[in-house]
Amino acid sequence: MKNKIFNDTRLLDAMDHIDSSLIAETADKIRPPAAPKREAEQPKTGRIVIAWKQAIALVACALLMGAIIPAVSMLVNSILPTSGNSGTASDFGAAAGPISDDSDIMFYRKVARRTLDNGWVYTFTREGMKNGDDSELFKYVFYGINIKYKYAEKFGGISSEDNLETGYLVFGVGSDAEKRDAALISSILSNDKTDEELLALNPDDYTFEVLDKSMFFELMQEALTGEAQAEGKDPNYLDKPYFAFLEEEAYTDGYKFQICSLNETGIIDELFIDILYKIGSGEMDYVQLSDLVASGEATAEQTEVYELIQTITRDIKENTSYIYNSGSYREKTVDGIDFSRLYGILDDMHNNRFEDYIK
Amino acid sequence: MKDEKIIEMFFSRDERALEEVDKKYGDLIYYIASNFLALKEDREECVNDVYLALWNSIPPTKPASLSAYISEVTRRLAMKKSRSSNAWKRGGEVKLVGEELLSMLDDGTDLSELYESRRAGELISKFLLSRSESERRIFLMRYFFDMSPRDIAKQMHCGESAIKMRLLRTRKKLAEYLKKEGIMV
């Protein structure tokens, strides 16, 4: 039966009769890569000359969610983003464990992550199909992303750059040394490897120039030997973009909120809420609350604000809801910081209104 | 340039309409063709066919949505070309798309009666309208635009696995919906 129908291609033909408004809705959202350049030619209509446009480079969407220079470092052996600020990630604060047999999910994900104080989040993911056919997947993904600093200048001038071999993307390779590290990791994580082969690797056989080699191999070990991650329960959270770096449009009363969130399979993997205090007229003239606290320069009131933000962050992640217990905090004002403004953003995130923040 | 203006140019037989289409939708046309056709020559020929089809069909056709019309024309021409030349892309990916969709229907029902394409298309449209925008988008990217889960993941800024999971769920829901509509027993 299946072959008969398929040979008739009727089901595919049915897609020719999809409502045009739906097609338009999707077509308008597709960001196709630039078509290859081609010389102008005389088409079949005779006199009509189609002026093929110049290929427009697909700009890595540094603009996504307001990021100017995405704080993304390495994304190795992953196919995910054409932009500088996407990737894949997974569990943090979510219930982990094997996926039950009655699950309708046909794949599993095993994840290990390190979140550093400077905002860098490094993740190793092992992804596979439950039926064992991993041929369509990138089984192994390693990447780093910065969830604290929007501007590269704030963390050392790392730029973003797409690279390189087909099927491999490396972002944030700001130096040749980083590129060499990324290329080495790409070679280590080739898809034809098995878990056992990776686990048997001797770290001493490899030399990393920039990246913490121990961390890489530890994360790989943890992910490959760990349990599969459970998925989120709220379907609304399946709609979240993987990476969102949001901020208020303008400084009001001398500050604005900034939020970075990583989401995957219905889980809020990571969330970083910060306050940017304006200290000058330039775009880069601000200090972040988290840095003031870390350096001991924060006032007692600012520290109170920071701790409140940590509580809110923890609640949100543990309960997989950007508006969890919002009633307790929404009306608060501490040290002149109006938390209703924070919840204005969190409400938008909860309701999937991310596009409003794209500049 | 706004689509309405481009359509006006078609109606006034202004050849710059094609240039404007090329500026605005050239990448999309080539991308859709690329999803169905493996060979560069086939893609380019398809793209030319699309421009010719647009020129010859507008007027009399006055598309309510130019992007949708262009997408549909491109898809049909690309599929026609791929079928005529048996040039399935990437060793049968188009076939795979069909099999994915059909897997949910493989319950012994006499599908030959049930899948009159127009009715199926209408029902699928109705179903999709009841879903979230992102769910619709992912479904159509896969089954209309023939994008790979990998490419969809790039566009949607999420993991490939998340895309596969959502496609699976949508297909299951669609199967349930079609059953309710009497399509499946």
Q: What is the pLDDT of residues A279-297, one digit of tens each?
A: 988 877 899 999 999 999 9
Q: Chain A residues with CB inside 8 Å of B75's CB?
A: 15-16
Say if residues B68 and A21 touch (Cβ distance below 8 Å): yes
Q: Chain B residues with CB inside 8 Å of A130's CB?
A: none
What does chain A come to in residues? 359
Rg, C-alpha atoms of chain B = 18
Here the tokens at position B89 are 């892309």
Instruction: Tell me the pLDDT tens digit for each residue of B80-135.
Output: 777 665 444 433 344 445 555 545 444 444 444 445 667 778 888 888 888 888 88
Report, as an integer, the average pLDDT of A299-311. 97
Query: Scanning the structure block, which residue is given the tokens 């050239």?
Result: B26
Q: Which residue has the higher pLDDT, A13 or A332?
A: A332
Say if residues A69 and A160 touch (Cβ distance below 8 Å): yes
Which regions of chain B carry the CATH code 1.10.1740.10? 3-89
Partner-chain residue, chosen from B22, B97, B140, that has the shortest CB–CB distance to A26: B140
CA distance A84 to A98: 32
Between the CA of residue A281 and those of A149, A150, A229, A254, A357, what are the distances in Å? 19, 18, 45, 11, 22
Would you identify the CATH topology of the domain B92-180? Arc Repressor Mutant, subunit A (1.10.10)
Closest to A246 (Cα-Cα) out of A357, A338, A118? A357
Which regions of chain B carry the CATH code 1.10.10? 92-180
Here the tokens at position B76 are 């049909």
Partner-chain residue, chosen from A12, A82, A238, that has the shortest CB–CB distance to B154: A82
Residue A249 near chain B (CB below 8 Å) = no
Here the tokens at position A306 are 């920071």
* Least confident interval from A340-354, B107-121, B164-178: B107-121
Query: What share of chain A has pLDDT > 70, as a percent?
Result: 66
Instruction: Tell me the pLDDT tens digit for each residue of B42-66.
Output: 888 889 889 988 988 888 888 888 9
Give the model's pLDDT for residue A155. Answer: 43
Query: What share of chain B has pLDDT > 90, as a percent?
Result: 11
Give the model's pLDDT for residue A135. Answer: 62
Give the model's pLDDT for residue A88. Answer: 27
Cβ–Cβ of A14/B28 closer than 8 Å? no
Q: Which residue has the higher pLDDT, B77 or A72?
A: B77
Instruction: Tell me the pLDDT tens digit for each residue of A6-45.
Output: 233 456 667 777 787 888 888 888 878 777 765 433 332 2
Q: Does the predicted interface ipTM exceed a cut of 0.90?
A: no
Angle, CA B62 vertex, CA B61 and CA B67 arms, to 5°: 105
- From the candidates B157, B167, B172, which should be mutated to test the interface with A, based on the most A CB atoms within 10 A? B157
Residue B7 has pLDDT above 80, yes or no: yes
Task: Calculate the average pLDDT of chain B.
Answer: 77
* pLDDT class of A64 with cuts at 50, 70, 90: very low
Say if residues B92 and B146 touch (Cβ distance below 8 Å): no
Instruction: Tell me the pLDDT tens digit for each residue of A95-132.
Output: 333 334 444 556 678 899 998 887 888 888 888 777 77
Residue A251 has pLDDT above 90, yes or no: yes
Give the model's pLDDT for residue A11. Answer: 61
Closest to A112 (Cα-Cα) out of A182, A267, A238, A217? A217
Closest to B164 (Cα-Cα) out of A268, A20, A168, A138? A138
Query: Closest approach of chain B CAs to the CA of A335, in angstroms?
Result: 36
Query: What share of chain B has pLDDT > 70, as a percent?
Result: 78
Residue type, A343: Y
Residue A240 has pLDDT above 70, yes or no: yes
User: Of the segments B22-26, B80-84, B178-182, which one has the largest average pLDDT value?
Assistant: B22-26
Cβ–Cβ of A33/B68 closer than 8 Å? no
Residue A47 near chain B (CB below 8 Å) = yes
Give the model's pLDDT for residue A277. Answer: 96
Give the model's pLDDT for residue B174. Answer: 82
Residue B20 has pLDDT above 50, yes or no: yes
Say if residues A257 and A341 touch (Cβ distance below 8 Å): yes
Residue A198 has pLDDT above 60, yes or no: yes
CATH class of B3-89: mainly alpha
Say if residues A99 and A128 touch (Cβ distance below 8 Å): no
Query: Closest approach of chain B CAs to the CA of A39, in angstroms?
Result: 12
Task: Calculate the average pLDDT of chain A.
Answer: 70
Residue A48 near chain B (CB below 8 Å) = yes
What domains does chain A contain, in order, with CATH numbers? 64-225 (no CATH), 235-357 (3.90.1010)
Query: Closest approach of chain B CAs to the CA of A299, in angstroms?
Result: 38
Q: Lay out the sheet containing A72-76: strands in order across.
A: A72-76, A140-146, A120-129, A107-115
Interface of A with B in 291-350 (CB under 8 A): none
Cβ–Cβ of A28/B153 closer than 8 Å? no
CA distance A323 to A316: 7
CA distance B148 to A136: 10
Give the model's pLDDT for residue A341. Answer: 97
Q: Which residue has the higher pLDDT, B85 or B146?
A: B146
Beta bridge partners of A146: A120
Strand extents, DSSP E, A197-335: 243-247, 255-264, 267-278, 286-288, 333-334
Query: Closest approach of chain A CAs to the CA of B87, in angstroms?
Result: 15
Between the CA of residue A72 and those of A171, A207, A307, B73, B160, what are the distances in Å? 6, 22, 27, 39, 19
Cβ neighbours for A67, distance < 8 A, ≥ 6 positions apart = A84, A85, A150, A245
Give the model's pLDDT for residue A358. Answer: 60
Beta bridge partners of A126: A110, A140
Say if residues A120 and A73 touch (Cβ distance below 8 Å): yes
Partner-chain residue, chosen from A2, A27, A137, that has the shortest CB–CB distance to B106: A2
Between the CA of residue B110 and those of A145, A177, B114, B185, what are the distances in Å? 51, 61, 7, 9
